[in-house]
């Protein structure tokens, strides 16, 4: 049952006057539930609760936090069909996607729980004392990672489950020991409330302090801005547009106490087609990419929006096949009329640029809010000179750039902004002949893909989802995979600290049996 209220810690609250509804893009109608935007007072209460909760939660053992995360997973599954239906009605996405994303959300929570149970992630490090060292004795120094404090998480429009309420950012922050205040995404506040209920139930069942989690509704940008400026917030996680992410980054940087904002933002995910591969496999590649460009109505941050090749018959054939194949694909629904509107505007703006040629355009609108996929092509020299063509068109849109030669292709990569991914399509042995292309591509991206598609982000320790700006605001961290926990922690060092007062991770007898760096040797041994 949806109440439309905010969770201020464990308490439902709706003191505000601003109400709004979510929208079902498939049927082009508002959903019936009303949501109440959080007030300044509610934001303050959530922050105060989070700050108080942090005093307790920061020292909760890994085992207990793991139980909490696993309980969240169980409670989300327990929401059953209600969650799937709400997800579909607020996103226009199909049921199998809802189920897949739920599975991923559960997997993420379990992955962090495993990480906590194992315990090595705190990077415990011990340098024992050398009292006889000259000229000065060396003290005993021990270090581990500790949580930063309350974290604000902004739900993503395109991942109502896996990158929203109890998604990757929240799971990572809770695992780190940080209370989380979610700024629920206005496009799927119902899905958000259901998941928030699951988190609150899990927190109560596993004895977590009130305030470890809050969920705030908002229609516009004001609640988010207030949260980022709030002195008690210590870090921010965001997934969305460059404009939105940069605005939050700017607010956070201007604070009296600046705080880290990890924003995962836009990307056009360049794909480089090397000549031999293009010649040998152009047709099958075109089919593969027609699917990748339209997957999820092109609404993935890893959507391939830029395909680079060398001018010639093979590339012409590729463009032709890609254009034919993409028009065979049935158009699908976008997340919201606003997303569809932005897609149409950005597509039109790109198409109007001098030198851009449209080679496929699914002209008719099969249904309101459904996207019409587009393939375009442009000369390398034109692309190099027109920065507008470097901007993301969020949706089923791609641009094939016809380069004069490899030197121009390299130059073009060097001029690109930072990207989440870069893909290299090559025949065996071919790639080794293009070290400068690989080097340039690596320097612009967080993840390199060989003979594949960028869509599809595996959740595992070796994943990097992030990259040089504007792919993300800090390329030193990933938003996906258990290492994303590192965004929300800092090291603290204990000098000559008495054993009984040390955290368990640093005690002499290693009660957690974790791997520690002891005098430069990685070991599980006791001291």
Q: Does 390 bind a copy of itself (CB under 8 A)?
A: no
Within 237-276, which residues bind a copy of itself (CB under 8 A)? 249-250, 253-254, 257-260
Judged by CB under 8 A, which stretch of 27-35, 177-185, 277-285, 442-450 contacts a copy of itself? 442-450
Judged by CB under 8 A, which stretch of 167-175, 204-212, 313-321, 435-443 contacts a copy of itself? 435-443
3-state secondary structure labels for all residues of 452-519: CCCCCCCCCCCCCCCCCCCCECCCCCCCCCHHHHHHHEEEEEEECCCHHHCCHHHCCCCCCCCCEEEC
Judged by CB under 8 A, which stretch of 83-91, 163-171, 390-398, 493-501 contacts a copy of itself? 493-501
**Least gap, CB of 201 to a copy of itself (angstroms):** 28
Using the minimum distance from each CB to a copy of itself, give the nearer residue, 16 or 149: 149
Known catalytic membership, residue 82: no
Residue found under tokens 């008495």: 498
**Least gap, CB of 140 to a copy of itself (angstroms):** 9
Q: Does 523 bind a copy of itself (CB under 8 A)?
A: no
Under 8 Å between Cβ of 245 and 469: no
Using the minimum distance from each CB to a copy of itself, give the nearer residue, 353 or 442: 442
Within 94-153, which residues bind a copy of itself (CB under 8 A)? 100, 120, 125-127, 135-136, 138-139, 141-143, 146, 148-149
Using the minimum distance from each CB to a copy of itself, give the nearer residue, 252 or 371: 252
> What is the biggest distance separating any 2 CA atoms in the chain, rounded to whole angstroms?
82
Q: Does 428 bind a copy of itself (CB under 8 A)?
A: yes
Q: Which of 196, 227, 449, 512 binds a copy of itself (CB under 8 A)?
A: 449
Judged by CB under 8 A, which stretch of 13-21, 320-328, 358-366, 426-434 contacts a copy of itself? 426-434
Residue found under tokens 């587009």: 374
Under 8 Å between Cβ of 220 and 227: no
Per annotation, catalytic residue among 37, 90, 264, 417: 264
SS3 at position 360: strand
Under 8 Å between Cβ of 307 and 401: yes
3-state secondary structure labels for all residues of 185-247: CHHHHHHHHHHHHHHHHHHHHCCCCCCCEEEECCCCCHHHHHHHHCCCCCEEEEECCHHHHHH
Region of 151 please: left (phi>0), alpha (psi -120 to 50) or beta.
Answer: beta
Using the minimum distance from each CB to a copy of itself, give the nearer residue, 138 or 345: 138
Q: Which of 71, 182, 431, 485 binds a copy of itself (CB under 8 A)?
A: 431
Under 8 Å between Cβ of 334 and 370: yes
Q: Does 352 bind a copy of itself (CB under 8 A)?
A: no
Within 44-73, which residues bind a copy of itself (CB under 8 A)? 55, 58-59
Under 8 Å between Cβ of 375 and 358: yes
Judged by CB under 8 A, which stretch of 67-75, 166-174, 269-277, 437-445 contacts a copy of itself? 437-445
Which residues fall within 8 angstroms of residue 3, CB to CB, at 6 or more apart? 12, 14, 193
Q: Rounded CA gap, 336 and 22, in Å? A: 9
Q: Rounded CA gap, 69 and 162, in Å? A: 14
Known catalytic membership, residue 123: no
Q: Does 494 bind a copy of itself (CB under 8 A)?
A: yes
Angle between helix axes 222-229 and 40-57 (nearest 10 degrees) is 40
**Least gap, CB of 491 to a copy of itself (angstroms):** 5
Q: Which of 349, 443, 508, 513 binds a copy of itself (CB under 8 A)?
A: 443
**Least gap, CB of 183 to a copy of itself (angstroms):** 22
Q: Rounded CA gap, 142 and 505, in Å? A: 10
Q: Which of 17, 354, 363, 432 binds a copy of itself (CB under 8 A)?
A: 432
In eight-state DSSP terms, residue 299 is: -
Using the minimum distance from each CB to a copy of itself, give the nearer residue, 188 or 465: 465
Q: Rounded CA gap, 5 and 9, in Å? A: 12
**Least gap, CB of 228 to a copy of itself (angstroms):** 14
Under 8 Å between Cβ of 217 and 4: yes
Q: Rounded CA gap, 173 and 390, in Å? A: 33
Using the minimum distance from each CB to a copy of itself, give the nearer residue, 216 or 445: 445
Judged by CB under 8 A, which stretch of 85-93, 293-301, 323-331, 452-460 contacts a copy of itself? 452-460
Give the DSSP letter string of 114-137: HHHHH-GGG--EEE--BTT-SSSP
Under 8 Å between Cβ of 182 and 215: yes
Residue found under tokens 């070290």: 435
Q: Does 387 bind a copy of itself (CB under 8 A)?
A: no
Within 460-489, which residues bind a copy of itself (CB under 8 A)? 460-464, 466, 468-470, 473-476, 478, 483, 486-487, 489
Nearest residue to 332 (alpha-carbon basis) of 376, 377, 286, 297: 297
Q: Does 490 bind a copy of itself (CB under 8 A)?
A: yes
Per annotation, catalytic residue among 88, 301, 333, 403: 301
Q: Rounded CA gap, 159 and 167, in Å? A: 8
Using the minimum distance from each CB to a copy of itself, give the nearer residue, 116 or 464: 464
Q: Which of 18, 19, 344, 517 binds a copy of itself (CB under 8 A)?
A: 517
Q: Does 403 bind a copy of itself (CB under 8 A)?
A: no
Using the minimum distance from each CB to a copy of itself, give the nearer residue, 82 or 95: 95
Q: Catalytic residues, which ones?
A: 264, 301
């Amino acid at each position: 049952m949806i109440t439309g209220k905010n969770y201020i810690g464990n308490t439902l609250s709706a003191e505000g006057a601003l109400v709004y509804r979510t929208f079902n893009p498939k049927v082009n109608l508002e959903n019936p539930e009303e949501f109440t935007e959080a007030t300044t007072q509610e934001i303050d209460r959530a922050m105060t609760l989070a700050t108080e909760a942090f005093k307790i939660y920061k020292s909760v053992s890994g085992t207990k936090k793991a139980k909490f995360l696993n309980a969240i997973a169980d409670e989300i599954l327990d929401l059953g069909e209600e969650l799937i239906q709400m997800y579909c009605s607020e996103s226009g996405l199909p049921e199998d996607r809802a189920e897949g994303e739920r599975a991923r959300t559960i997997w993420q929570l379990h992955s962090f729980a495993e990480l906590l149970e194992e315990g090595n992630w705190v990077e415990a490090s011990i340098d024992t004392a050398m009292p006889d060292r000259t000229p000065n004795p060396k003290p005993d120094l021990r270090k581990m990672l500790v949580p930063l404090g309350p974290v604000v998480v902004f739900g993503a429009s395109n991942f109502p489950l896996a990158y929203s309420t109890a998604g990757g950012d929240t799971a990572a922050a809770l695992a780190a020991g940080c209370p989380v205040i979610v700024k629920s995404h206005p496009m799927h506040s119902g899905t958000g409330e259901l998941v928030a209920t699951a988190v609150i139930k899990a927190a109560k069942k596993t004895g977590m302090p009130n305030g470890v989690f809050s969920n705030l509704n908002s229609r516009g940008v004001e609640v988010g801005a207030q949260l980022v400026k709030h002195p008690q917030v210590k870090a921010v996680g965001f997934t969305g547009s460059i404009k939105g992410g940069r605005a939050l980054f700017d607010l956070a940087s201007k604070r009296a106490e600046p705080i880290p904002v990890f924003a995962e933002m836009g990307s056009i995910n360049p794909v480089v087609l090397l000549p031999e591969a293009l010649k040998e496999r152009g047709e099958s590649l075109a089919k593969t990419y027609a699917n990748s460009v339209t997957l999820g109505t092109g609404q993935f941050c890893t959507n391939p929006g830029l395909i680079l090749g060398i001018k010639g018959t093979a590339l012409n054939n590729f463009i032709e096949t890609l254009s034919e194949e993409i028009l065979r694909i049935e158009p699908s629904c976008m997340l919201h009329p606003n997303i569809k509107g932005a897609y149409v505007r950005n597509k039109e703006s790109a198409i109007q640029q001098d030198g851009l040629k449209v080679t496929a355009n699914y002209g008719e609108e099969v249904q309101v809010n459904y996207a019409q996929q587009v393939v375009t092509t442009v000369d390398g020299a034109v692309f190099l000179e027109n920065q507008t063509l470097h901007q993301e068109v969020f949706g089923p849109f791609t641009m094939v750039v016809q380069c004069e030669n490899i030197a121009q292709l390299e130059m073009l990569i060097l001029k690109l902004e930072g990207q989440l991914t870069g893909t290299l399509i090559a025949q065996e042995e071919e790639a080794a002949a293009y070290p400068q292309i690989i080097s340039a591509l690596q320097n612009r991206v967080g993840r390199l893909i060989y003979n594949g598609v960028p869509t599809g982000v595996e959740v595992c320790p070796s994943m990097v989802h992030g990259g040089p700006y504007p792919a993300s605001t800090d390329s030193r961290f990933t938003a996906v995979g258990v290492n994303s926990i590192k965004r929300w922690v800092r090291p603290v060092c204990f000098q000559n600290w008495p054993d009984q007062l040390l955290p368990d991770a640093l005690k002499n007898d290693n009660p957690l049996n974790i791997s520690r760096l002891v005098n430069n040797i990685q070991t599980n041994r006791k001291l």
